[in-house]
Amino acid sequence: VGRRDRDLAAANLTPVTLELGGKSPAIFDPSCDLDAAVSSIAYGKLLNAGQTCIAPDYLLVPKGQAGTVAAKLAMAIAKLYPT
C-alpha cells in the first residue's frame, strides 16, 4: 500500500466503538444457591439489554442440573419482566 492510498484512507476513517467482551461463562458450583445464582445471572445478562462486556453468554452447570437451572432462570426472568 502506497502513501497515496494511506492518505486517501485516512481522509475517510470513521470512528467506532467496539465492545471487547468475550464469551463470558457463568460457572455454577455444585454447592451454590441456585435461586440466588439464577437471579444474579438473569439480572447481569439483561442489564442494558445484555450489552455489557461482563454479561454472561453461557452457563456451565453441574451434570444433571441443566433442566432445573433453565426452569429457575425462566422464572427469574419472568420476575424481572412480568409483562
The mean pLDDT value for 40-47 works out to 92
The residue annotated as part of the active site, out of 53, 67, 81, 83, is 53
* DSSP, res 64: T
- The helix/strand count (H/E) of the chain reads as 3, 2
Buried b (16+ CB within 10 A) or exposed e, 19-36: eeeeeeebebeeeeebee
pLDDT band at 20 (very low <50, low <70, confident <90, very high): low
pLDDT value at residue 18: 67
pTM, full prediction: 0.68
- Note if 32 is an active site residue: no
pLDDT at 41: 94
45 in catalytic set: no
Per-residue pLDDT, 7: 83
The answer to whether residues 56 and 22 touch, using CB atoms and an 8 Å cutoff, is no
- Residues 4 and 57: their CA atoms lie apart, in Å, by 43
Active-site position among 2, 19, 48, 63: 19
The predicted pLDDT at position 22 comes to 66
